[in-house]
Amino acid sequence: MKPSFSCSKAAEELGVSTATVRNWLRSDEAGDGSLEALQRLAEKRLKCRANKRNLRGRRSLSKRIRDPFLRENAERVLDFFWEKMAGFPQTELLRDGILFCLARHFCGACGRKDAGIVRELAAWETELEERVRETAKEAQKETAKKTELCAWERLLAETDGFLRVHWQYTGDADRLGILFREMTQAGMLAERGAFDTPEHVARDAVERLAEMMKAEETPSKNGEKTWTFLDPACGTGTFLREIRRRFQVPLSALFGMDLDPTAVRIARLVLLWEVPDSTEMPYIVCRDGLSTELPEGMPTAFAAIAANPPWGAKKTRPSPEMRRSPERKTLGKYETFTQFLLRSWELLRPGGTAVFLLPEAFLNIRTHAPIRRFLLENAQIEEAVSIGKAFEGVFTPAVRLVFRKPALTGAVPQVSQETETLHFHAETQGFPQERFLQLPDCIISPTASSETFRIVEKMYAVPHETLAGHAEWGLGIVTGNNARWVAEEPKSDAWEPILCGPDIEPFRIREPQKWIHFRPECFQQTLPKERFRVPEKIVYRFITSRPAFALDTQQRLTLNSANFLVPSIPGLSTLAILAFLNSEAFRFLFVQQFFTHKVLRGDLERLPFPKISKKFSQNLEILAGDVFSGKEVCAKMEEQIFLTFNLTRTEIQFIRRSLKK
């Protein structure tokens, strides 16, 4: 039965892609296919694996809280919070009430009665009272309204009493931010794409910002620096606090925006705590950092911007005003962090510097090619460094990007031939961005160097063919429910072995460990059976840090972790092509050009297969066949392939060293 709603509308409602909705509707898990059934399925699916968008419930205390006394105090507060949740349905209001009481108790216990802190706490209390009254208005009966108000007053009294007995920690006020994040449900943070910036990561990023700015002439006013700093997605103020400590600027030089009003309150309190008896206030407001209209009193240009913008969040389209600007035409798909990059570019003054924490996908995924091209063409990129899995509970690796907005419009960054790594140092300029502009999709590789580019260019200068137009490609089966359709043992004679990614090694296929009953009408995505049944095909892992290709001559099916191709490059047999695909030369090209853990058809179609003589091709075929049968001839085969690219011994050694990193 055709659904009564559009797939795109359902996708927007559920926070998934349109393709995912279509796949769910094809599966028998979608029940009657109603929007309600899809919502139930989404809640089930999005709680699984690395997807935390719909995750609810208590989390364990962050491992980064290493101070045992703080951990003990924090655990007590969290226990109190979770205990109260059972009788207090408004979770965010409960959280904010406890945090307010904690902030008030904390400041009182430390004897902090600064005018700014007192004003901030009073404003917070007033805001909470208004929220409680609004909640009470929704109650239908007068008695219910009184009950709501009494419950709130009782909560504050109980919290104050609890804290007087159980909270003895008197360290930095930024611990309020830690408890805010611990008391905010994981799913809520994931939906917003908001992941806590570890202090050491923020500190390192701000230090790089300082190195970029130290050579710049510092304007002054009454002997004080007049630099202005912005974090457009400031959260509880981790970046702004590190900036104040590193640059020793007045609070009035710090600006921030965030959509969470409680995070904004905490950020202001944290910064006020940093400067006792300050007569100034940081300008941090509850506002969308992507808005084209700045709050009254906020500068229109900043000397520096530091941010860990939301990423992996539910995507939203920019406003019509944002899309009309020339820069916005480069945006491509509307990923949240790309919008923050462009908005920050607009807010950065000429000569200003920005540091961003971004997902590693920014460097290599085709979707983000437009924003990479924009920055490579317009900005002076100083650094793009992998910082690994920097966010607790997030499996996606991150990168630190530092760039400068040229002081002169149209200034072209100069490329230094002496650059040995992509890691830029302020004293030796040379981020090779012009070369990255020449790569497919402007991919930025963290291991690139001038020598890397020279060797890659030399390899492509050899007359060659590619797989583009010279291969038939096949994707592995997507069942939609492997638990149901894939088994470790055959359940009947109708079941057959199926190849998965881990089964494939260079030149070798392990004995398959999975079985499937091929029923294409039940699967989300599959090719006709005859596409798998060709006499020989090259199968390869889809997800891997080291591409692996093998020859399948048994006409086996493949799961979606293993794809395949049937090549037809003139002058090269399938075995000779297999030799190139598994070679060190091709692995070097793949790693340096594409910097990805996904082996994509588009990338494989760009690899250069040198035009070689028939005799040379036959020799390669013999060597590949020997490897295929287990003979120790890999070293000889590698040397033969290096020879086809006219590489010197020094260049070969460079390639091998780079592959060991």
Instruction: Give me the DSSP letters along 517-538.
Output: E--GGGSSB---HHHH-SS-EE
CB 639 within 8 A of CB 585: no
Write down the pLDDT at residue 388: 83
- Strand-pair category, 348-359 with 398-404: antiparallel
CB 544 within 8 A of CB 447: no
| The CATH number, out of the four listed (3.40.1010.20, 3.40.50.300, 3.40.50.150, 2.70.170.10), of the domain defined by the range 199-260+277-407 | 3.40.50.150
- Strand-pair category, 537-541 with 549-552: antiparallel
Q: Name which CATH class applies to 464-660.
A: alpha beta
Instruction: Give me the DSSP letters along 407-472.
Output: SSTTPPPPPPTT--SS--BTTB----HHHHHHSGGG---TT--HHHHHHHHHHHHS-EE-STTSEE
C-alpha to C-alpha distance for 71 and 84, rounded to whole angstroms: 20
Helix (H, G, I), strand (E, B) or coil at 474: strand
Name the strand (E) or helix (H) holding 307: strand 302-307
Name the strand (E) or helix (H) holding 191: helix 186-192
Write down the pLDDT at residue 76: 86
Q: Spell out the domain ranges in the chain.
A: 7-45, 68-190, 199-260+277-407, 464-660
- In 212-347, DSSP assigns E strands to 220-221, 224-225, 229-231, 254-258, 283-286, 302-307
Helix (H, G, I), strand (E, B) or coil at 103: helix
CB 92 within 8 A of CB 56: no
Ramachandran quadrant class, 248 (left: phi over 0; alpha: psi -120 to 50; beta: rest):
left
Which pair of structure tokens corresponds to residue 310? 């939301």
Which pair of structure tokens corresponds to residue 260? 């969470």
Selection from 588, 589, 591, 582 nearest residue 620 by Cα: 582
Q: In what order do the strands lie in the sheet with 562-567?
A: 471-474, 562-567, 537-541, 549-552
Amino acid at 112: R
C-alpha to C-alpha distance for 228 and 249, rounded to whole angstroms: 9
C-alpha to C-alpha distance for 499 and 486, rounded to whole angstroms: 11
How open is the CA angle 491-496-500, to the nearest 5 degrees? Answer: 110
Which pair of structure tokens corresponds to residue 572? 């090269």
- Strand-pair category, 557-558 with 220-221: unpaired
Name the strand (E) or helix (H) holding 628: helix 614-628
C-alpha to C-alpha distance for 107 and 103, rounded to whole angstroms: 6
CB 355 within 8 A of CB 309: no
Write down the pLDDT at residue 87: 72
Which mean pLDDT values do the consecutive 10-residue runs of the chain (661 residues) have? 64 63 67 70 54 47 72 85 79 90 86 88 93 76 63 88 82 76 62 72 94 66 71 95 94 95 94 89 94 92 95 59 56 76 95 94 88 92 86 79 81 38 36 80 81 93 97 95 91 94 95 93 92 97 93 96 97 95 96 87 95 94 88 93 97 94 77
